[in-house]
Amino acid sequence: MDIKEILDNRIICTGLEVKDKKDALKKMSNMLKNAGYIANLNSFLKGVYLRESQGCTGIGNYVANPHGKSMSVVKPGIAMAVLKNEIKWETLDGNGVKVIFLFAVGEKIEDAQNH
């Protein structure tokens, strides 16, 4: 997969205003849905929250990379957001999050490999 296939202006947002983690995941998932990456918002979010329950996705340095496998994913992609304000998030270094990369990964083996 080429980097040009990953970068999509429709799923990149700077200055995203969110209240908390839940709000951020919902808004970013909506970006993916509106751009045709996922078919069902609730199904996709269920997969993301399942993964979140298994361990923190805050990798440190104010960055989080939430993700989850879902049959709702039409094509793999990464929604990217720079937040207007730092939010609380479970992270490896104990800091909050300012940048989020939300991965949309399908159930197919090749989708997981591309991820």
**pLDDT confidence of residue 21:** 97
Q: Which of 8, 28, 33 is nearest to 17 (CA)?
A: 28
CA distances from 24 to 1, 66, 73, 102 (A): 27, 11, 19, 10
Q: What domains appear along the chain, each with residue ranges and CATH number? A: 3-114 (3.40.930.10)
Contact 97, 65 (CB under 8 A): no
Query: H or E element: which one contains 69?
Result: strand 67-69
**pLDDT confidence of residue 1:** 58
Hunting for tokens 């361990």 — which residue is that? 55
Sign of CA dihedral 10, 110, 56, 40: positive
Query: How much is the pTM?
Result: 0.89
As averages over each run of 10 residues, the pLDDT of the chain (115 residues) reads 75 97 97 96 95 93 93 92 97 97 79 45
**pLDDT confidence of residue 111:** 46
